[in-house]
């Protein structure tokens, strides 16, 4: 069978199976889209690496392949197919779904390696339209999810091409390139090492300063994926003055709240890593930098429960580090006063029905942090 005929057949059937999912579930949304949405949620909450983010299979699974097939299909054909699918009965639809499964098994779809090669050679084509460039990066985003694929992209030189896109003049291209690098680097020391070699960490740190929030958020996501649990990465991050970037983001009230949450979450994560690796050499110097600490403490009185909770959790961890001076936290950072102000704010939030439970949880955490702090000061 001709490859493109197979492809259009596949898309028609994909829509049919999507319709089944929609019919079967009143909450709507195609079944194969849910795994991605979860990954997004995980990223957006600041938890850059979660179990959900490691979706098995990639293009070996139906998921990725259908995404890819749809990306490569004619919109008019898709529309027709969707109409046809709506007319079918549940029985017909289920029959089609079984056929689809069989077809996919028989069909010799191009391997993930081949698909990555096509995407990378597209990126290397200087006359490629912006739209196609975005699409090639979107494809890589799905393809790099399985760790073997991420490693292959690295070995084949594709990662270097993607890193080059971080300097593209189009903000969307830069954003997608950062996202691909972040995805490929998650929990993958091999890929992380190559990204460092390519000098991309410094570029990504600068990108967090972008006036496009989307670009800044993905750049910070990539930075986090590169330095989490990676000592060499953390040293390089420090040498590139990445902590100044974090401090700037935390203390700039006009920035998007998501970005500020991610920044303080990363600080907490770095502190936690330090705590778990006490046999490592000295603690990161940022944890004894009073201006840096103050930018964390100031966040607990910014009126956003999520941000406040993340800041408190971070302070909770910082208080357990050896290099932390409780007197600096009290006198220079004003932690005691901030905790008191926060208590009043939370009391007010608890009068709001929508916020009551969340505010109560944050108040519990606040109380714990206050207790630990008072112990550290020798008041208890």
Ligand X SMILES: *[C@@H]1O[C@H](CO)[C@@H](O)[C@H](O)[C@H]1NC(C)=O
CB nearer to ligand X: pick between 31 and 275: 31
On whether the CB atoms of residues 174 and 215 are closer than 8 A, the answer is yes
- Within positions 59 to 98, which residues make up the interface with ligand X, using CB under 6 A? none
Considering the complex, what minimum distance in angstroms separates the CB of residue 42 from ligand X?
Answer: 18
Q: Positive or negative, the Cα torsion across 128, 68, 259, 147?
A: negative
CB nearer to ligand X: pick between 167 and 364: 167
CB nearer to ligand X: pick between 168 and 374: 168
Per-position x/- string for 248-287, each x denoting binding to ligand X as judged by CB under 6 A, each - no binding: x---x-xx--------------------------------
Long-range interactions of 83-89: CB distance < 8 A, separation 24+: 84/12, 84/16, 85/12, 85/15, 85/16, 85/18, 85/19, 86/19, 88/16, 88/19
**Rounded CA separation 197/160 (Å):** 10
Distances (CA, A) of 136 to 61, 62, 157, 184, 285: 19, 19, 16, 15, 40
Considering the complex, what minimum distance in angstroms separates the CB of residue 167 from ligand X?
Answer: 4
Considering the complex, what minimum distance in angstroms separates the CB of residue 351 from ligand X?
Answer: 32
The site for ligand X, by CB under 6 A, has a size of 27
CB nearer to ligand X: pick between 248 and 370: 248
| Pair of tokens at residue 279 | 């046999």
Choose the stretch contacting ligand X; rule: CB under 6 A; options: 162-170, 230-238, 257-265, 276-284: 162-170
**Rounded CA separation 163/249 (Å):** 23
**At a CB cut-off of 8 Å and minimum separation 6, what does 251 contact?**
295, 298
User: Within 10 A of 218 (CB to CB), how many other CB atoms are there?
Assistant: 26
| Pair of tokens at residue 12 | 């028609």
CB nearer to ligand X: pick between 48 and 246: 246
Per-position x/- string for 21-60, each x denoting binding to ligand X as judged by CB under 6 A, each - no binding: x--xx-x---x-----------------------------
Question: Contacting ligand X (CB under 6 A), which of 16, 163, 181, 335?
Answer: 163
Q: Where are the alpha helices (DSSP H) in 228-355?
A: 231-239, 242-251, 257-276, 290-297, 305-318, 326-327, 335-349
Per-position x/- string for 105-134, each x denoting binding to ligand X as judged by CB under 6 A, each - no binding: --------------------x-xxx--x--
- Within positions 192 to 221, which residues make up the interface with ligand X, using CB under 6 A? 198-200, 203, 205-206, 209, 211
Considering the complex, what minimum distance in angstroms separates the CB of residue 126 from ligand X?
Answer: 8
Question: Contacting ligand X (CB under 6 A), which of 245, 300, 312, 324?
Answer: 245
Give ∠ CA 206-212-214 in degrees, rounded to 5.
95
CB nearer to ligand X: pick between 86 and 252: 252
CB nearer to ligand X: pick between 37 and 80: 37
**At a CB cut-off of 8 Å and minimum separation 6, what does 75 contact?**
none
Considering the complex, what minimum distance in angstroms separates the CB of residue 220 from ligand X?
Answer: 12
| Pair of tokens at residue 17 | 């199976």
CB nearer to ligand X: pick between 128 and 275: 128
Residues at the interface with ligand X (CB under 6 A) = 21, 24-25, 27, 31, 125, 127-129, 132, 163-164, 166-167, 198-200, 203, 205-206, 209, 211, 245, 248, 252, 254-255
């Amino acid at each position: 069978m001709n490859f493109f005929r197979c492809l259009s057949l596949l898309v028609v059937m994909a829509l049919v199976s999507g319709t089944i999912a929609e019919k079967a579930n009143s909450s709507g949304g195609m079944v194969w889209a849910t795994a991605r949405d979860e990954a997004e949620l995980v990223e957006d909450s600041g938890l850059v690496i979660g179990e959900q983010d490691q979706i098995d299979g990639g293009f070996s699974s139906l998921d990725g392949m259908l995404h890819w097939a749809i990306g490569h299909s004619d919109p008019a054909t898709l529309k027709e197919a969707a109409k046809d699918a709506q007319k079918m009965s549940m029985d017909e639809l289920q029959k089609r779904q079984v056929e689809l499964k069989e077809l996919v098994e028989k069909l010799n779809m191009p391997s993930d390696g081949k698909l990555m090669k096509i995407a990378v050679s597209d990126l290397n084509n200087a006359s490629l339209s912006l739209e196609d460039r975005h699409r090639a990066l979107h494809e890589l985003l799905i393809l790099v999810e399985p760790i073997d694929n991420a490693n292959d992209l690295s070995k084949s030189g594709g990662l270097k091409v993607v890193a080059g896109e971080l300097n593209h003049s189009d903000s969307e291209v830069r954003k997608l390139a950062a996202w691909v690098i972040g995805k490929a680097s998650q929990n993958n020391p091999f890929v992380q090492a190559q990204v460092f070699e390519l000098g991309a960490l410094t570029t990504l740190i600068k990108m967090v300063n972008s006036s496009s929030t989307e670009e800044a958020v993905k750049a910070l996501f990539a930075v986090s994926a590169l330095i989490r649990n990676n000592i060499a990465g953390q040293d390089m991050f420090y040498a590139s003055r990445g902590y100044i970037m974090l401090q700037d983001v935390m203390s700039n009230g006009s920035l998007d709240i998501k970005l500020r949450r991610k920044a303080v979450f990363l600080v907490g994560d770095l502190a936690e890593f330090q705590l778990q690796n006490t046999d490592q050499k000295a603690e990161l110097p940022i944890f004894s930098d009073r201006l840096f600490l103050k930018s964390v403490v100031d966040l607990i009185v910014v009126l956003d429960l999520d941000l406040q909770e993340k800041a408190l959790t971070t302070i909770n961890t910082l208080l357990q580090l050896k290099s932390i001076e409780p007197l600096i936290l009290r006198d220079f950072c004003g932690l005691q006063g901030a905790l008191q102000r926060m208590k009043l704010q939370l009391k007010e939030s608890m009068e709001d029905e929508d916020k009551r439970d969340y505010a109560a949880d944050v108040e519990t955490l606040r109380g714990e942090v206050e207790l630990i702090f008072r112990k550290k000061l020798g008041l208890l």
